[in-house]
Chains A and B, each alone.
Chain A
Amino acid sequence: MAYAFDFASVLEYREVLVDGTLKTLALTAIGTVLGLAVGILGAVSRAWKLAPFDRLFAVYVEAIRNTPFLVQLFFIFFGLPSLGVQINEWQAAILAVVVNLGAYTTEIIRAGIEATPKGQIEAAQSLAMGRAQIFRHVVLPPALLKVWPAICSQVVIVMLGTSVCSQIAAEELTFAANFIQSRNFRAFETYFVVTAIYFLLAIAVRQVLIQAGQRLIARRTK
């Protein structure tokens, strides 16, 4: 059985591929920024037992970590409109990514916060710093620095997971692949190329995040 590979038929759709790649990256970027914000709020609520938020975040984290991402996405995209919330596919995709990443990073960042030596906080208190100032300047930067590799891994997992957003017709990279192979009937070549793009994206995103983390959080030049 001889199969004649035809990658040219995939490259004909390069604009669709580029567009899908950019949308996957944009979804990941927005989701990461907002998801980390949620994760930081969740982590401090849980680590410092800020009632009632600590309980709420505990329930939220368990709900998200024990259910599939695709179901979370469907719940948001198909479920919310039943309650009268109008939401398009991109809003749903972003919301799902933020909610998902927020839950995982809550637990990751919490571990970093809880590893803060008590003496650091006492030193800050003795300098008359308030609770919010202590969190912002003394607790959070070393905590993020400690768990940054875990956060980078989680972001990559979430980026790869965004492929399921194709199921609600968000035109990201996997949607592009499905679209192309339905036109050129070259499933192998199309998914091969898209798989390679995901692979390279994952490696690039991880590298960029690790570098950015060291710059932003550590501010250590040498």
Chain B
Amino acid sequence: MALVRIDALHKHFGSNHVLRGIDLDIEEGQVIALIGRSGSGKSTLLRTINGLESFDEGCIEVDGERIHPHETDLRALRQKVGMVFQQFNLFPHLTVGQNVMLATRIVRKLGDAEARELALAMLDKVGLREKFDAFPDQLSGGQQQRVAIARALAMQPRVLLCDEITSALDPELVNEVLAVVKTLAAEGMTLIMVTHEMRFAREVGDKLVFMYQGRIHEAGDPQELFANPRTPELASFIGSIN
């Protein structure tokens, strides 16, 4: 059974119908690349999966945790879904270590020693163990984003959502973040990424989902779709990026 099931999802922002019936099943261990023009609904779709956006019709289920329109208690869902943001969003008043430990202590209720050990392990995974006591503003953008990934992973989510996580980075810092994501993918982490890194989507993605005007316009094997887009919209989108 699919780890993430999205059924007939609809969402409006006022009179703007931004998601117009999304159906998407994601298997455990899959890496999904969500692409499309701005305004196509890809970020909104991603944000509904952990409840940062509500939706009006349909249903989302993650690892058996089902949410309906206008659900308010989303904490159980959010324990299963991690998220990394474009702007990193580290907590500026906490050290790197405290950023990673905060939710593991107050949400997962780990003890100090256990939380610390876990934080060190997660920072190790992103190559920043030695930055445990640094503050976010002492790190480069790429390092901050890797800490944000470690922070999300420390909650041991079943799925990790990545919302344009390299878009705010200087070009020379993009690869260090993508390398971390690549490792996660290789370890079998289920990833749903909104991305503009087409080469990365093609290399690492198991499935490409092209959003157009609030619908999934095309979905399938990334290599295949990039080589032979079936619709003129995807062909034009790929053309405009390259």
Contact = CB atoms under 8 A, between A and B. Distances in A.
Interface of A: 117, 119-120, 122-130, 133, 137-138, 141-142, 145, 217-220
A126 B106 contact: no
Residue in B51, B87, B135, B151 with the greatest tally of chain A CB atoms within 10 Å: B87
Interface in B188-230: none
B89 A137 contact: no
B152 A127 contact: yes
Contact of A123 (B51, B76, B79, B89): B89
Residue in A122, A130, A217 with the greatest tally of chain B CB atoms within 10 Å: A122
Contact of A128 (B79, B91, B93, B151): B79
B78 A119 contact: no
Nearest to A139: B91
Interface residues of B, number: 28
Nearest to A126: B83
Given A119-B85, A138-B91, 19 more contacts: A117-B87, A119-B89, A122-B83, A123-B85, A123-B91, A125-B51, A125-B52, A126-B85, A126-B152, A127-B103, A127-B107, A128-B107, A129-B103, A129-B106, A129-B107, A133-B106, A137-B91, A137-B102, A220-B135
B239 interface: no
Given A119-B87, A145-B93, A220-B135, A127 B155 contact: yes
Interface of B: 50-52, 74-76, 78-79, 81-83, 85, 87, 89-93, 102-103, 106-107, 135, 148, 151-152, 155, 161
Residue in B93, B151, B161 with the greatest tally of chain A CB atoms within 10 Å: B93
A126 B78 contact: yes
Nearest to A142: B93
Given A127-B152, A128-B103, A220-B135, A120 B75 contact: no
18 contacts: A120-B91, A122-B85, A122-B89, A123-B91, A124-B103, A125-B52, A126-B52, A126-B81, A126-B152, A126-B161, A127-B82, A127-B102, A127-B103, A127-B107, A128-B79, A128-B103, A137-B102, A219-B93
Contact of B93 (A124, A126, A133, A141): A141
B42 to A, nearest CB: 17
Contacts of B79: 128
A184 to B, nearest CB: 52
Contacts of B85: 119, 122-123, 126
Contacts, number: 68
A142 to B, nearest CB: 5
A129 to B, nearest CB: 6
Contacts of A137: 91, 102, 106
Contacts of B161: 126
B218 to A, nearest CB: 28
Contacts of A128: 75-76, 78-79, 103, 107, 155
A124 B107 CA distance: 11
Contact of A122 (B52, B91, B92, B93): B52
A181 B34 CA distance: 80
A130 B75 CA distance: 7
A148 to B, nearest CB: 12
Contacts of B90: 123
A120 B89 contact: yes
